[in-house]
Structure 1
Amino acid sequence: MDSPRFLRRLLPPLVPLLTLAALSTALAPAPRPGAAPAPRPVAAPAAVTFADEFDGPAGSAADGAKWQTETGDNVNNHERQYYTAGNRNAALDGQGHLVITARRENPGNYQCWYGRCEYTSARLNTAGRFTTTYGRVEARMKVPRGQGMWPAFWMLGNDIGQIGWPASGEIDVMENVGFEPSTVHGTLHGPGYSGSGGIGAAHTLPGGQAFADAFHTFAVDWSPDAITWSVDGTVYQRRTPADLGGRSWVFNKPFFLILNLAVGGYWPGDPDGSTVFPGQLVVDHVRVTTGGTQPGGGPITGVGGKCVDVAGANTANGTPVQLYDCNGTAAQHWTVGSDGTLRALGKCLDVSSGGTADGTPVQLWDCNGSAAQVWAVPPARDIVNPQADKCLDATGGGTANGTRLQIWTCTGAANQKWTVRR
């Protein structure tokens, strides 16, 4: 975006993504030719992996199992508020909303980077409680109006505690600054394209409407190597690695969610005599959905002309995935999910125990939204698990029926090349 944009400091410690424990079973024979053919596929519904409708008594705090509250000021952006704990600046209204309130006050004698703080507000995040890799991430909100107001709904890479910002990546689903009442911004920040150099675009309401006048739904639809922004279902930008000019795309990994209302800062400027307090960001819901698939799909073929096959057409968690003669059965019918999953028999292709080491086997497992079940299929015909940065691989380059599939460092060899039918 054109306006200045600087690092937002994450205040609490981060909790790394937990990997899923998985079972391991012996190979079972694939169904013989003549077994029942794959049924005609239908679109699979998306799974809601996170939802907060903010139902609860007026004055109660946000659900602590879903959100943690940050405290402190933010010198990096030169914001003016102090983020408080408790429910004074972030509370349910009893009508199905979370209300984040910015006030011109300082009852706790809070100290900010510039001296005694002039304002209080709130910032909540899901670090340590929820992360997602891909899917549809949306919030329905009504923003405040007024010079100096800076509401935002955004995401940070869950590895920020290990590698820092901007290497962790940041996805701004929605930002609004008070001097642009009709406009919101969506932006990517990463190594070499952060701050005012972020990659993004703006969306402006027609006819002089202001976003503070009504609720609007802000969303990103996020898949391997692609993110699309929309407002009320209207798409206004799509970004892929091609937009980064050779810089690193850092968005194929888990991210957590953030809601906040800042006051002042480099970009929005400070409040002035026209700004009315308190200002409120009213959030109707936050949802993350993953796993929708499109009708279609078919076999995934690889080395030796063999197909990716669920051993014995078994739907149990931990069933091995292997090479086998192509036979047209449901055990070899794979669909590509909008969240980057590969699905057969109602379950997902999964890296055992979320492993990242060479030789970690793959299996069938309940779809759960974890990074162990996310796959990118680039034009080079590799099938890559971004978490491990490794390729789907036929063990030992084998072509025999029953050859187990695994992940391995990408080499470009024939046993890592696949044709995926969408």
Structure 2
Amino acid sequence: MNRRTIGAVTALGLALATLSAPPAASGAPLPSDRGGVRLPSDRGGWPSLSSDRAGALVGAGARTGDARTGDARTGGGRDVALAGRAFPVWSARTAAASGLVLDRLSVPATAESGQAIAATVRLHAKSTPVAVEALTVAVRNSDGANFDFPGVQPATVPPGGYTFATGQRTFPPGDYLVAAAVRIAGVWTALTPPRYLTVRTNPVTFRQEFSGPAGAGPNYGLSTAMWFDDPRGDARYSLDQAKLDGLGRLALTAEPGPVAPRLSMLDRSGNDGAAAWSQQGGYFAARMKLPAGRGLRPAFRTIGADAASVAWPESGGIDIAEVAGERPGLVRQFAHGGTPDLAYGRAHDLPARGAATDWHVYALDWKPGENGHLRWSVDGVVTQELRAAGAGAAWASFRRPHTLALELAIDGPAPQVPATALIDWIRVYRYPIGSSTP
């Protein structure tokens, strides 16, 4: 690499306004027919260069990457091809002024929809130790949207080197530019070279956008009915309280009285509880806005598809998201299976101190094999993981097909009703044909 090329590479940087934590976008697959990715504001953002300048910088940085591992140490042709895309590269600032050298930025070159990945940074100070106010790994897609890895921390970087590992997250399908970034004296700078990540689309097995006229039922637009009321042996749940709102959302409405909306794909009354749809493993996601209030229990779950013939908890069930209305800042995520019940999981704070009353993408990455896992996430940030080995004999409950359920349950006296849970979309993917599902 000649000096001119090196100069172009080291010129790649970014200037951010004061930022307490890197902005994050929903990491689950998002619909392209409803305005694309829904994101918070850039809060100072990473300003773009002109397309000509951006192409030069991306191209220069690309030639130093390893296409197989995403490690910044060796060359590879895949990144050169991606460099031709019109990524909004961040504003030019001399990275050398930071006094730091990036030794390695490791991130996978490719991933699947729903696959949680992390990044690792290794850097060192050129001479004396450098105090860094914040160190993170920033990610932008080709439209400039933010998908930063979770984790930002201060550090004092010595000449002997410093290693930083991010938290895990998932990404929607697409191509991404990845850069290690430091904030020194209030100024953000990208350390070069950047990396590239491609996330592949997995086959969609179930997708519902809830587009239709206000008042239509949850099966509107489906070729066959897939949602049914789920009485669970009593009459407290009703399909009639699940209606489209005319704005592309399903509204589950709890009203005064003992009846609440609960839908599942188990046709208990019409077909002996057989599941209208089921799948063993995959990636399950829903974008929801859930109500707060005493006695409300909105939830998005899986249920064992053979629940009509196999007793719970052996039939299995996974709480992808459940919220206690009186604690809207927490999401409960549990796995139920085996005898006695495994009851694995706990309640987690929502990302960025958010609340369930805001829109969030709740997702589950489920690989059902003997070495598989259940991995929960919110807005692409992984919250917990259960490995098959950790579940023991109860893992048998997660090696069978499951189906889906939505509910706004009422729990306890004097609930705060009326209340409405909104579901923007649901998507389920399977892993690409021919791929392993360990």
**TM-aligned CA distance change 1:228 to 1:66, over 3 Å:** farther
Tell me the residue number matched to 2:418: 278
AA of the residue aligned to 1:69: F
The one-letter code matched in structure 2 to 1:90 is: A
Distance change (3 Å), C-alpha of 1:255 and 1:207: closer
Deviations 1:352-400 (A, max 9, x none): xxxxxxxxxxxxxxxxxxxxxxxx5xxxxxxxxxxxxxxxxxxxxxxxx
Which residue is equivalent to 2:168? none
Equivalence for 2:410: 263
Checking the alignment, whether the CA contact within 8 Å between 1:146 and 1:271 is kept in structure 2 is no
Cα drift, residue 208 of structure 1: 4.9
Q: 1:215 aligns with which of 359, 367, 379?
A: 359
8 A Cα contact 2:332 2:345, kept in partner: yes
Alpha-carbon distance in 2 for matches of 1:156, 1:206: 26
* CA-CA distance at 1:271 after TM superposition: 3.4
Distance 1:174 1:71, change over 3 A: closer
Question: Partner of 1:251 in structure 2?
Answer: 398
Match of 2:204 among 48, 51, 72: 48
Q: How far is 1:92 from its partner?
A: 0.2
Q: 1:42 to 1:102 in 2, by over 3 A?
A: closer
Partner of 2:435: 336
**How far did 1:291 drift?**
2.3
What is the TM-score of this pair, normalised by structure 1? 0.50
AA aligned opposite 2:422: V
- How far 1:100 moved relative to its partner? 0.3
The answer to whether residue 300 in structure 2 is matched with residue 148 in structure 1 is no
- CA RMSD in angstroms comes to 2.5
Q: Do structure 1's residue 91 and structure 2's residue 243 form an aligned pair?
A: yes
Q: Deviations over 1:61-96 (max 9, x none)?
A: 011625332254767xxxxx82124x3x11001110
The alpha-carbon deviation at position 123 of structure 1 amounts to: 1.2
2:226 match = 67
Q: 1:71 to 1:159 in 2, by over 3 A?
A: closer
Match of 2:258 among 119, 127, 134: 119
Q: Give the Cα separation in 2 of the matches to 1:146 and 1:232.
A: 23
Equivalent position amino acid for 2:277 in 1: F
Structure 2: distance between partners of 1:191 and 1:171: 12
Secondary structure of 1:228 counterpart: strand
Counterpart of 2:361 in structure 1: which amino acid? T
Pairwise CA distance, 1:203: 1.8
Question: Gaps (5+ residues) in structure 1?
Answer: 1-39, 76-80, 105-117, 294-334, 341-375, 377-422
For 1:388, the equivalent position in structure 2 comes to: none
Q: Aligned pair in 2 of structure 1 residues 233, 61: CA closer, same or farther (>3 Å)?
A: same
Instruction: Measure the CA separation in 2 of the matches of 1:246 and 1:83.
Output: 33
Residue 314 of structure 2 corresponds to which residue in structure 1? 167
Which of 263, 276, 279 is 1:129 aligned to? 276
Find the aligned partners of 2:399 and 2:232 in 1 and give their Cα distance: 30
- 1:209 positional shift: 3.4
Give the Cα–Cα distance (whole angstroms) in 2 for the partners of residues 42 and 204 of structure 1: 29
The correspondence of residues 8-407 of structure 1 with structure 2, limited to 5 A, is 45-63=201-219, 65-70=224-229, 72=231, 82-85=236-239, 87=240, 89-104=241-256, 118-127=257-266, 128-194=275-341, 198-205=343-350, 208-212=353-357, 214-223=358-367, 224=369, 225-264=372-411, 269-271=412-414, 275=416, 277-292=417-432, 336-337=435-436, 340=437, 376=438
Equivalent residue, structure 2, for 1:313: none
Deviation of 1:292 (Å): 3.5
Cα distance in 2, alignment partners of residues 198 and 66 from structure 1? 31
Alpha-carbon distance between aligned partners in 2 of 1:82 and 1:221, rounded to the nearest angstrom: 31
Shift in CA distance, 42/217, structure 1 to aligned 2, threshold 3 Å: closer
Secondary structure in structure 1 of the residue aligned to 2:216: coil
- Going from structure 1 to structure 2, the CA distance change for 1:206 and 1:47 (only over 3 Å counts) comes to closer
User: Contact 2:230–2:263 (CA<8 Å) still a contact in 1?
Assistant: no
Alpha-carbon distance in 1 for matches of 2:309, 2:427: 27
- AA aligned opposite 1:336: S
Unaligned runs of 5+ in 2: 1-77, 79-108, 112-199, 267-274
Paired residue total: 229
Q: How has the CA–CA distance of structure 1 residues 165 and 206 changed in structure 2, closer, same or farther, with 3 Å as cutoff?
A: closer
1:187 partner letter: F
- What secondary structure, in the 3-state scheme, does the structure 1 residue paired with 2:236 have? strand
Q: Percent identity?
A: 34
Contact conserved, 1:133 with 1:252, CA < 8 A, in 2?
A: yes
The question of whether the paired residues in 1 share the 8 Å contact of 2:351 and 2:379 is answered with no
In 2: Cα distance, 1:129 partner to 1:98 partner: 19
> Is 1:66–1:130's contact at 8 Å kept on the other side of the alignment?
no
* SS of the residue 1:151 aligns to: strand
Letter in 1 for 2:354: Q
Residue 93 of structure 1 aligns with an amino acid whose one-letter code is D
Give, in whole Å, the separation in 1 of the partners of 2:400 and 2:209: 26
Alpha-carbon shift at residue 139 of structure 1 (Å): 0.7
In structure 2, distance between residues paired with 1:129 and 1:137: 16
1:264-321, Cα deviation, whole Å (9 max, x unpaired): 1xxxx4335xx2x21111000011011247xxxxxxxxxxxxxxxxxxxxxxxxxxxx
**Structure 2 equivalent of residue 107 of structure 1:** none
Task: Note if contact 2:338-2:393 (Cα within 8 Å) is conserved in structure 1.
Answer: no
Alpha-carbon distance in structure 1 between the residues aligned to 2:408 and 2:317: 17
